[in-house]
Structure 1
Amino acid sequence: MADVSVLHWKEGVNSFNAGNYQRAISEFQGAAPTKGVLFNLGVTTSKANDPQTAIGHFDSVLRLDSSLGVAYLTRGVCKHTLEQYSAAVKDYDRALETMGDESVVDYSGEGLPFTLTRVDLLFNKALSLKRMGRVHEAADCVRQAKDSVDGQTKNRVANLDRLMQELQLP
């Protein structure tokens, strides 16, 4: 990235951290459109309550790197917000595919301060399946998520238990 691009990116991060999403968006738009910048644009526009625009940014990220599971996760969350549950499930499945046998993927090496966990993906997938009325599949996802819980994700157990109760299976 050229120096001016780096400055825009840094100002975007600072503005995001300060909760000034509109300024962050403006700064990120002034930076070179790398996958990190585009991902940050997606997250920021999502936080600014514009999930449709965020989806476009995540689409751009995935055109640059189709193996970036965290982009599928965040795009799936945006689609869930827009009640596009089937499309969200597809994104969660794609994110799970990118993880292979890993239970956690740390993206800090990519310059992204995000960690993707199998537990979180399965939880989000279960939420979308529940909204679609596919409660048995949702329950299967919750069970898989609980089986995947480790030291890093043990704080998710209460939410998984709560979701399983909401599914009201006999």
Structure 2
Amino acid sequence: MGCEWGQVREWTHDGSLEWHVLQYPYHSGVQKWIEQLNRLYREQPALHELDNDPAGFEWIDCNDNAASTISLLRKGRSPQERIVVIGKFTPVPRLNYRLGVPSGGFWRELLNSDGRDYGGSNMGNAGGVQAQAIPAHGRPHSVTLTLPPLATLFLKAG
């Protein structure tokens, strides 16, 4: 009840939702982010096909407390349906962050919560990054990323 636009006060059945806050960029940015996140979920089989199946999820790195990041792989039924998700949990950007990915080629940045449309600083990876044949996280290829502060990134090969 209002979470999809960052309502300020807790929802109560005795009052209406704070629709007026959508006039402020921060709140309209949260609403745009949720809209794009829902669109991505619907459009990308890797995010919904195996949603209730352990085969649809794989950690890349859940132990990087030094960089305050977690990374995971979401998988669809087709081997081509793979999305890498990276969460950065401190207000400090991380440059040249190496992350293992399941295949070579270009990895497109599908969504970045630090985008200007969502109220962020617009720091990111200029639309995507090229994987290198440098092993990382037990995978044969890796990418070097710019991780914006307090952000979540979604990447897909191709």
TM-score interval, normalised by the smaller of the two chains:
under 0.3
TM-score (norm 1): 0.25
More strand, by proportion: 2
More helix by share: 1
Q: Which has the higher contact order (CA 8 A, sep 6+)?
A: 2
